[in-house]
Structures are given as C-alpha cells and as structure tokens.
A = this chain, B = another copy of it.
Amino acid sequence: MEFSNRISSLKPSAIREILKMPNDPDLISFAAGNPAPDSFPVDAMKKIAANIFETKAASALQYGVSEGYTPLRDITKERMGKKHNVFKEETDDLIITSGGQQAIEMTAKILLNEGDSVICEDPAFVGALNALRSYGVNLVGVPVDNDGMLMDVLEEKLKTEKNIKLIYTIPTFQNPTGTTMSLSRRKKLLELAEKYDVMVLEDSPYFELRFRGEPVPTIKSLDEKGRVIFCGSYSKILSPGIRIGFACASKEIISKLTVAKQVSDVHTNLFFQMLAAEYLKENDIDEHIAKICDIYRVKLDKMLECIEKAFTKKVSFTRPEGGLFVSCTMPDGFDGAELTNRAKAAKVAIVPGCTFAADDTKIYPTFRLNFSLPSLDEIERGIDRLAKVLNEYVG
C-alpha cells in the first residue's frame, strides 16, 4: 500500500502531540493555544442548549445546509460588516466552517495545484503550514519583525519565485510571534498582491483579543478587488471545542468553498451553530470579549514581568498587545528544540521555533509561550523553572 504524495511526508503537528502528553499534574504547559476555560460563557450556553432541546431539537439534530445555519451566517456577516468592514454586502459572501482551520484547508484545496507556491510568514502557524503542505504546495517563508512581514523580502520573493498563487498571513497578534503588521505594510502587501496577481489568505483568529493599543484595520477591510479571503473563528471568543469558524470572501470564492465543504463534512455541527447564533443574539459579545481581554491582559503582564525578572538578558522576547502568545529568542546557535527537551525534563512545556518554520529541518533559537491557559500562579512558577533551564543552557 502506498500513500498519496501529498500526505506521505506530512508529519503530525508537534503541538497536537504535546497536547497528548501524560496528564502530569506537576507539568506546567505554555505549549497549547487553548483559551482559558473561565472565558467560556458556560451558563449562557447551558440555558440556550436546554432551550434548543426544548423547542427545536428536530431541526438542530437534522442535516443542515453546507453554507451554514442562516441566522449564524447573518449575524456574523452583520458583525464583520458593521464593526470591522470585513464583510461587504454587495460583493461578499460568508460560509460557516468547522473552525478556522477548515477555512484554511479548504482555501488551499480550491486555489492551489500541486507544485504551486505559497508565501507565508516565517515563522507561522503550523496548522496552516501543514494544511498547505497537505496539498503538495511549496512554502516560501518571509521573515517578520515587530511590524510584520518584511515587505522588501516579500517583493523579492514575488519577483523571483515561481508559481506563487497565495500569500498566507496572520497580520494581527501573529502566531507564534505575537506581533502585528503595521497599517502601511498591510497596504503595501495588498498593492504587491495586486501587482503580482496573487490572492491573500488573512487568518485572524485572535484579532479581537486586543488588550491595549489601537486596532489596525484588517487587510480584508482595505481590499476593494476581492483578493482577500478572511478566516475568522469563534474558538477564541466563545469555545474552540465547538469547532465554529468562518470564511468571508467574494461570492465566487465562497461558492467554491461551499462545494469543498459539501464533500468535506457536509456542514458544521448544526446544534452548536444554532447555539452560537442564539448566544450572539441574546448577549453582547463585545462585552464578553472585553472580559476575556481583562483576563488575558493580566496574564500577559504577569508573564512579561516574570520573564523580565527571571530570564537571562541574552534572551529577547516580544511584547504583544493581544492574542495568546509571547515569542522568545535565544542567541544564534542555540536550539529551541533542545531547550524544549530540557524544559520538559524540568516539567515545563513550550513549543520550539522550528515547529513554525517554512523549512522545518533547520535549527531555530526561538520558542513560543502561551499565556492564556495557565493560571497566574502557574505562569510565575513555570517561568521560574524555564529561567533556570535557560540559565543552564544559554548561560
């Protein structure tokens, strides 16, 4: 038996594997990308679920349409339109997906042939990189600084690399770096996409989780030519376990994504689409997001404070204004994977930088820390443990 070319070389995600680590009660994990459980609106969801079972179980448990539950689509369109200018009534459509991940995977499926190339931030979200790899495309990494992708390198790649069809980016609170692309670079990216005739996949699962600083317009909101596919998610503002995300793009793109969705999983869990729609109707989601930001701001500040106090000065780190992650960099020559092993022995889970690399065979001196899931106490103790490991390794 042989597997397909596209899948033969694909490795399981290191992060998903880390999530399976034995439930050692003494292990402190900064590895996941999980929201804090106290950010889930459990009581409200519980009431709505009971009501759905009471009043419309027959339709909630039946097959639905592939585009998604209409009231959820409508309320998402309205919010993404009015609040963020991401959805444009006249030109756009919106499909509900099984998490933001599915929007990325299906975008790869409908746009890319094997052998095509995709530009991504280097480093970037491994789930997206693997989704792209699973369609046999080449990844072309563009380095990032504190203002996002480097535009001169981006243009150089667009000029010289062959068959580039798509730019993949998380412009806001990027995974893993936590950095945000500046407005001027967003405009430049769109301009380059137009000039070199490539599409843009704007992946924005965290963009509403801003703890401080001014919001930067999404790339999609700046796009007048239908070049941008915007992937959003309810995972970080409602619950990831329910697997509800969405893609917003031109009507033509959404109609192809709908065909891909039909053959992929027919439709997303209908009960929770109804529940999410009801939740969004009955509650002020912005107020809920503000509460989540209050929780995360304190955790981030605690983590940065602990890092500043305890880490060797040879290690630098990002200071994100939102999202879920802080990224740290050791001096050149040190290996994030080696540090990860040593940290594991000291009962701290982190994710090595190589996980997020377009070329995942190289050595990277970086590692990612998640601050949304651990408690304040765990952050303090975990950073302390990690500081000791770093002192031994980096000196």
Contacts and interface: CB of A to CB of B under 8 A. Distances in A.
Given A50-B46, A127-B262, A265-B99, A242 B61 contact: yes
A37 interface: yes
Interface string A124-166: 0001001100110000000000000000000000000000010
B3 A256 contact: yes
Contact of A10 (B32, B252, B259): B259
A370 to B, nearest CB: 12
Contact count band on A:
35 or more
A243 B135 CA distance: 24
Contacts of A270: 241-243
A40 B216 CA distance: 47
A3 B110 contact: yes
A2 to B, nearest CB: 8
A240 B271 contact: no
A110 B239 CA distance: 29
Interface in A41-87: 42, 45-46, 49-50, 53-54, 57-66
Contacts of A4: 109-113, 135
B110 A263 contact: no
A114 interface: yes
Contact of A19 (B59, B63, B131): B63
A109 B7 contact: yes
Contacts of A20: 65
A195 interface: no
8 contacts: A4-B110, A4-B113, A45-B57, A46-B54, A63-B235, A101-B263, A130-B259, A272-B272
